[in-house]
Structure 1
Amino acid sequence: MWGYTAVSSIFYFLDQLGYEFFEHVAFPNVFEIEATSLSQKFIVFAHACYLSGYFVYKNKNINITEYRVNIKEGAYLKLSIGATILALLALKTPFSQLSSYLNIFSTICAVKYFGYSLSHRKLIIKGFLYFTTVLLIGFLSGMKESTLFPLIYLGVILYDKYGVKRTSLVFFPLILAYFYFIPTLNGTIREAAWYNNKNAYETLSSLDNSLLLNKEKIRSVNWAFLSTRLSEISMLNRYLESVPARRPYYNLEIYKNGVLSLIPRIIWPSKLSPDITAQQRAIENGALIVNSPYDTTSAKPQTVADAYMSYGYLTVFITFLCYGFLVHTLSHLLEKKLGYDLGLSVLFYSLFSILSRGGCFENLFNTTFYGFVLIFITIHIFKKLNYIEKNPIYLN
């Protein structure tokens, strides 16, 4: 999360200096550069607090896990397909939130199966076709994360399997090509699928060759993506300008919203959507301008913004100290129970992916709490499926 936050903001900084890529096209925006400098101070401070919380205590090395894992790598295909089916079924129930966890779990299992198939010639075609299908579904969803995440996870597996030099020759050109084309393609997909309600075939049909050959359009869209949508520092600037100068600190209000988001809608049917309460903060502080009631633009504060708006440096310190401690505790818990491969590389990122990128308090509280509950439900299901068994020599 912090590497992404630190690196991605450079494009916004260059944009405010008057550059488009490496060409100087305008005068520097001195006011916004000063605002960005202040925002970076809060980001660095939050990072320091996060690391302090993460390393507040040192765990003992884990030599023996609580459960022995019996999942063969080939079984990840079954797990991926099963999770996809369950995710679709969950959408029809009061527990539709489960679908997001299951979709991430399904994607990770698909990538692991593809990585496994590369070492088994008979399975390569099947593994490649399934992985390609996962990427296509993610592409049609209009969410860039649905395609970028599988590629990054595949890169991690390939680096482990083939080493840095061999993997880099393929992986880096692939990622560069991805970031060159995906902003333009993703915008077209969203326009067709999200706003014009086109089906998958119609959405794909809207992608013609001229779109990919229009270098000027790709250039302008890419710079807009890199300088604004890739980083949320411009929004953080607006929050710092607004609070407390124009709007008093929220004190415990945002934390209260986060706690209230834990109440299931089946118990509280009239509960406001967490996205609505979070987006309201963006609107009232000028980080999001809504031009009409039909405007579909969406934006929510990041974790550092919500922490700052509560009560400045004090709540940033407390929030990120707890954030680092929480990440450390949850990752250690899963590794202690299920080991590194299943516990960390699969389940931690399936249940707590939000902790790697942050989010508004409503989504952060809700997703993390129910992810913690799902640890024990998942362990119970795995035991029933004989994928894990209690380790008789495990010592607490």
Structure 2
Amino acid sequence: MQANKPPLERFIVLFLPWALSLLLMNDAVLSYFIAWLGSFLIFYLSLSGWIKPIPTDRSMGGQLMRPIFLVQIIFAGYMACTSIFYFMDVMGYENFKHTSFVLVDHEKLLLTAQCQRYYCLGHAALVFGILIFMDYPVKKQYHIETQKLANLLMLFAIVSFPVSIFFLKIPGLSQFYYQLNSLSFIAGTLALAFAIPLKKIGNTLICLGFYCFNFYQSLLSGFKEPIIISVLVLGIFLYPSYKKVVAFTFIPLLLLLFMLLPTYNRVFRQNAWSGDSDASEAGQIALDATLNRDSDEDDSNWGFLINRLSEIDMFIKFVQSTPKQVDYYGFTLLKQSGIAIVPRIFWPSKPSTEELIMERVYDAGVVNRLSKVSAKPAFVVDAYLSGGALGIFLCLFAYGAIAQLIALKAERLFGGYILGTALIFSGLFQIMWRGISFEFIINTVFWSYITMLIIHKILTATNILQKI
């Protein structure tokens, strides 16, 4: 275990950018930039090991799936760093060019800076929670023979996919479909990354076929996240064995996806979701439109950067209404999350989780009640709605702490990083990469934890995992 605990002052440094931006809140532009750049400082201080040393039981590239890396980078990066384009739009920029005839809305500018300060506070609290409980190397309770890992990972991918389909067919238990489907994808991708360096031709071809199938399904989902995650995860898994190849291929590929996906998804949804074409045909139309687009006619990328890459516009609307028109919710959202945990198969008349969430969206005036749009608030927004800045600090600290504790538990039960963090934690708890509404995330994390324990029991009963 890590012997030297860092002094408390180093943890306090995490919150200095937020505190400084709060002191300068009257200058909205300066306050925004201090808070926005503050998140990059938090990334540097935490990932460099200045606050608390990075675990030395594995190389840096060999532990990227641990919470301090992947959970922080995706969750906090999406939450706190993507608002810069929205801020530029508020300041009168369009497609990175300043339009002098646009008047800056001073109130909107102040609200943008305020929300960015909340993001910075949330980022600091998240990292604080992770680092406080980050304690490696883990004392393993079980182990698995290394030579069995590649085949076991492929078996996980093959078995968990049909089991996920089985749960999809059972009314009231469809939530387990998403867990096991995600686990199957992570297992298949990890198995592919294992098989390639080992030059196992059979395993490589099977896993490559499975990966291509998952990627195709992601293309037909109508959402950007599964496509980006499928490429990101493969790059992370391959990185320890092929550092230069991954750096020079996967990073440009991810940037290219961010440029092309807004157009692809827009055209795909127009055709598939309207019923004009089936998913396969809509995918082909969208691909053709993306590769042959006219940049003069298509401005969807800038719109994507402003309104869809970041959720700060929605956050601003919640801040405008709470607590002025709508009081803080206190523990109400946690109580609703308790209701969401009960499977519908045991409570057929259980209130709709979607409707419970949308009620606060309607109350805040984010979406009109007559609209069919779904606009679920992010985790940090629910934290704010529960208790303002204090709610953000407490909820984001708990978020980081729970993610880290679950990752430690997984490594303890499954014999280390590969099965524990890379497979089980990343597969079952992938929802923690991008925090969504309280009800959805608490329900998923609770049942994913139960699923983790069940999988552990199966592996120990079949003697695949052996007690040390």
TM-score normalised per structure 1:
0.90
Give the equivalent residue in structure 2 for 1:134.
214
Give the direction of change, closer, same or farther, for the CA distance of 1:283–1:267 in structure 2 (3 Å limit). same
Structure 1: gaps (5+ residues): 392-396
Give the equivalent residue in structure 1 for 2:456.
379
From 137, 140, 144, the counterpart of 1:69:
144
How far residue 37 of structure 1 moved from its aligned partner, in angstroms, is 0.4
Whole-Å separation in 1 of the counterparts to 2:316 and 2:150: 46
3-state secondary structure, aligned to 2:281: helix
Give the direction of change, closer, same or farther, for the CA distance of 1:201–1:44 in structure 2 (3 Å limit). closer
Farther-moved stretch of structure 1 (114-123 vs 3-12): 114-123
Is the 8 Å Cα contact of residues 188 and 207 (structure 1) preserved in structure 2? yes
3-state secondary structure, aligned to 1:206: helix
Superposed counterparts of 1:22-33, under 5 Å:
22-25=96-99, 26-33=102-109
How far residue 57 of structure 1 moved from its aligned partner, in angstroms, is 4.6
Does 2:235 match 1:155? yes
Q: Pairwise CA RMSD of aligned residues?
A: 2.2
Whole-Å separation in 1 of the counterparts to 2:159 and 2:266: 31
Give the equivalent residue in structure 2 for 1:353.
430
Is the 8 Å Cα contact of residues 16 and 28 (structure 1) preserved in structure 2? yes
How far residue 202 of structure 1 moved from its aligned partner, in angstroms, is 2.9
Structure 2: gaps (5+ residues): 1-74
Whole-Å separation in 1 of the counterparts to 2:304 and 2:345: 38
Farther-moved stretch of structure 1 (83-92 vs 26-35): 26-35
Letter in 2 for 1:9: S
3-state secondary structure, aligned to 2:143: strand
How far residue 121 of structure 1 moved from its aligned partner, in angstroms, is 6.5
Superposed counterparts of 1:102-181, under 5 Å:
102-119=180-197, 120=199, 122-123=201-202, 124-163=204-243, 165-181=244-260
CA-to-partner distance for each residue in 1:159-186, whole Å, 9 max, x for gaps? 21111x3322111221122112111112
CA-to-partner distance for each residue in 1:111-158, whole Å, 9 max, x for gaps? 112223323273444443332221001111222222111111111122
Give the equivalent residue in structure 2 for 1:321.
397
Whole-Å separation in 2 of the counterparts to 1:318 and 1:363: 19
Whole-Å separation in 1 of the counterparts to 2:442 and 2:265: 29
Give the equivalent residue in structure 1 for 2:38.
none
Whole-Å separation in 2 of the counterparts to 1:217 and 1:267: 55
Letter in 1 for 2:303: A
Is the 8 Å Cα contact of residues 219 and 283 (structure 2) preserved in structure 1? no
Give the direction of change, closer, same or farther, for the CA distance of 1:38–1:125 in structure 2 (3 Å limit). same
Letter in 1 for 2:111: A
Whole-Å separation in 1 of the counterparts to 2:319 and 2:350: 29
Give the direction of change, closer, same or farther, for the CA distance of 1:121–1:249 in structure 2 (3 Å limit). closer
From 109, 125, 131, the counterpart of 1:49:
125
From 349, 358, 364, the counterpart of 2:441:
364
3-state secondary structure, aligned to 1:387: coil
Whole-Å separation in 1 of the counterparts to 2:440 and 2:296: 34
Give the direction of change, closer, same or farther, for the CA distance of 1:318–1:229 in structure 2 (3 Å limit). same
How far residue 348 of structure 1 moved from its aligned partner, in angstroms, is 0.6
Letter in 2 for 1:65: K
CA-to-partner distance for each residue in 1:229-274, whole Å, 9 max, x for gaps? 1111111111111001111222222121111111221222111221
3-state secondary structure, aligned to 1:56: helix
Give the equivalent residue in structure 1 for 2:82.
8
Superposed counterparts of 1:244-259, under 5 Å:
244-259=323-338
How far residue 49 of structure 1 moved from its aligned partner, in angstroms, is 2.3
3-state secondary structure, aligned to 2:258: helix
Give the equivalent residue in structure 2 for 1:201.
280
Letter in 1 for 2:105: N
How far residue 38 of structure 1 moved from its aligned partner, in angstroms, is 0.3
Give the direction of change, closer, same or farther, for the CA distance of 1:390–1:257 in structure 2 (3 Å limit). same
Farther-moved stretch of structure 1 (215-224 vs 102-111): 215-224
CA-to-partner distance for each residue in 1:64-112, whole Å, 9 max, x for gaps? 4111124431343332122111111111113111110111111111211
Give the equivalent residue in structure 1 for 2:263.
184
Give the equivalent residue in structure 2 for 1:394.
none
From 263, 268, 287, the counterpart of 2:342:
263
Which structure is richer in relative contact order (CA contacts within 8 A, separation 6 or more)?
1
TM-score normalised per structure 2:
0.77
Farther-moved stretch of structure 1 (344-353 vs 13-22): 13-22
Whole-Å separation in 1 of the counterparts to 2:381 and 2:152: 42
3-state secondary structure, aligned to 1:111: helix
Letter in 2 for 1:173: P
CA-to-partner distance for each residue in 1:255-312, whole Å, 9 max, x for gaps? 21111111221222111221221122112212224554xx2x2111111111111221
CA-to-partner distance for each residue in 1:18-68, whole Å, 9 max, x for gaps? 222321234433322211100011111222222333333563632x41111
CA-to-partner distance for each residue in 1:345-364, whole Å, 9 max, x for gaps? 11112222222211111012
Is the 8 Å Cα contact of residues 16 and 32 (structure 1) preserved in structure 2? yes
Letter in 1 for 2:429: F
Give the direction of change, closer, same or farther, for the CA distance of 1:112–1:270 in structure 2 (3 Å limit). same
Farther-moved stretch of structure 1 (127-136 vs 205-214): 205-214
Does 2:98 match 1:21? no
Give the direction of change, closer, same or farther, for the CA distance of 1:221–1:301 in structure 2 (3 Å limit). same
Give the equivalent residue in structure 2 for 1:302.
378
From 274, 277, 295, the counterpart of 2:356:
277
Give the direction of change, closer, same or farther, for the CA distance of 1:279–1:227 in structure 2 (3 Å limit). same
Whole-Å separation in 1 of the counterparts to 2:122 and 2:293: 41
3-state secondary structure, aligned to 2:366: coil
Does 2:155 match 1:78? yes
Runs of 4+ in 1 over 6 A off after TM superposition: none
Give the direction of change, closer, same or farther, for the CA distance of 1:161–1:254 in structure 2 (3 Å limit). same
Whole-Å separation in 1 of the counterparts to 2:105 and 2:235: 38
